[in-house]
Amino acid sequence: MGLKYIEHVKSVVLILLILFSFTLTFSIWTYSPVIPTNEGTTVDISIAEKKKMKDIIKPYRMIVSQDDGLKGSFASQPIEFVLDNMKNWEIQTVELASNKVDSNQINEFIKYPNRLSLFFTADVPVDVLGNILNLSDENFSEAHFNRLIIDWNENTPDSMIIYFISTSQQKMYTATAEKVNKAGFTNRILKHTETMQVYNEIITDDKLSVYVSSTPESILSYTYSIKDVNTEKFKDALFNNPNLVRSNPVSMNEQQFTDDSALMKVNFSTRRLNYVHPASENENPAKSVDLIQNSLNFVNEHNGWTDDYRYSRMNTEDRQINYQLYFAGLPVFSREITEISLKWGVDRVHQYIRPLYTLTAAVPLKTREVQLASGQSIYDFLSTATDINMSTIDDVVVAYYLTRDETESQFILEPSWYYLESGAWIRISPELLGGAKYGLE
């Protein structure tokens, strides 16, 4: 009896040991310790705001041609009216109309009556319009334009013709805009022209015409307190693991941030950031559509649109794209940095250069009205300058000249005339013009 009892106890103990062994084994298999890794850390990298494609691709000028001449504007209100209306149109049947349209033909297209022309600073892929407008035909990956012309001459109540022209490639595409409230659109456009300036067309031999205002322009000058963007936010956004980033002062005004794969330089004096990821460099040409979409997505990832930046130029061979700072509808030029520049590498950004200040979040301190000379007067002045070759001038525009007063910690935005020569915008200073003689303060 005693032996039987002992055998039963042994059996129970054995079963318990087996169950304990299974439990221990299962625990070992399923145990997941918390181990520090080199993966990116979740941090708040919301710097400013996101943008949509329609926010970064915008025309800088609008010209309306009627029987009695041209009216023009750089103001946001009439341009936004046109773009908002176009969102409701169904744009279809995109076709190559001309493989070789010369400058004279483009000039004639723009000034033909009952047409509206939108001017862009650089070629825009037609495919990108699918993100902005209702484009039903998306089979033109190679088609680009920097002039978009709307024609309402056709005797149809709900459709219009759109021309996409690339002045650099000398190609023209046409499309039909359906589901258009043609009467309502044209009536509003003509209403807008009542407040738009009369524009003159300056015709030169075998070149694109230059369009300038015929009367003086009154524009506000602004003074803002300087508002810097938090550098730590960019460190958190651009490096895989911000906790592993090393910070080294280079000088009184410059700081470097590095990890094992990337380098970010910050110059506090010039308020400039330069980030580079060397291993991602790519020497193969990029597709223009990819450059625009990838760069938009990249800046959106850290809400990096600190101001009104607009697509301004692209080099697909170098895989580079630039966004120009705008303020109150005008481009901002300066000796300071006023562009966001990106180079796209292998599946990621290779280089990222940008300003470290913001006007949007800054405090406006004062404004004053500045009377600028007419564009025609500016062009006439340039034509008398002995050191300027007029055949190299491609455009004349009003822009803001940005300067800073470090003693007062202020930015000053002064409206000025600029001319475009060989791809560079050159300021015509009031001192050069002789002050009041040309209607400047």
Q: Compute the mean pLDDT over every residue in the chain, rounded to the nearest whole number.
A: 87
Residue 206's pLDDT is 84
What is the mean predicted confidence (pLDDT) over 196-213? 94
Q: What share of the chain is helix, strand, coil (3-state, %, to 5)?
A: 25, 40, 35
Interatomic CA distance for residues 380 and 378, integer angstroms:
5
Residue 140's pLDDT is 67
The Cα-based distances of 301 to 172, 195, 232, 244 in angstroms read 35, 40, 16, 21
Comparing 116-125, 260-269, 370-379, 430-439, which segment has the lowest mean pLDDT?
430-439
Residue 17's pLDDT is 47
Tell me the backbone φ, ψ of residue 218, rounded to 5 degrees.
Answer: -105, 120
Taking the alpha carbons of 40, 46, 47, 48 in that order, is the dihedral positive or negative?
Answer: positive
At residue 433, does pLDDT exceed 80?
Answer: no
From-to residues of CATH 3.30.310.160 in the chain? 224-358
What is the mean predicted confidence (pLDDT) over 54-77? 95
pLDDT tens per residue across span 273-329: 999 999 999 999 999 999 999 999 999 999 999 999 999 999 999 999 999 999 999
CATH class of 224-358: alpha beta
pLDDT tens per residue across span 154-184: 888 888 999 999 999 999 999 999 989 999 9
At residue 187, does pLDDT exceed 60?
Answer: yes
For 56, the enclosing helix (H) or strand (E) is helix 53-56
Length of the chain: 441
pLDDT tens per residue across span 220-259: 999 999 999 999 999 999 998 898 999 999 899 999 999 9
Please tell me the CATH code under which domain 218-223+362-438 is placed. 3.10.450
Interatomic CA distance for residues 424 and 422, integer angstroms:
6
Cα diameter, the chain: 128
Cβ(257)–Cβ(245) below 8 Å: yes
At residue 13, does pLDDT exceed 70?
Answer: no
At residue 343, does pLDDT exceed 80?
Answer: yes
Interatomic CA distance for residues 140 and 148, integer angstroms:
16
pLDDT tens per residue across span 365-387: 999 999 999 999 999 999 988 78
Q: Which amino acid is at 197?
A: Q
From-to residues of CATH 3.10.450 in the chain? 218-223+362-438
Q: Which amino acid is at 384?
A: T
Residue 28's pLDDT is 38
Residue 46's pLDDT is 79
370 pairs with which residues across the strands? 219
Interatomic CA distance for residues 145 and 127, integer angstroms:
11
Comparing 30-44, 288-302, 329-343, which segment has the lowest mean pLDDT?
30-44
At residue 39, does pLDDT exceed 60?
Answer: no
The residue that leads in pLDDT, 127 or 44, is: 127
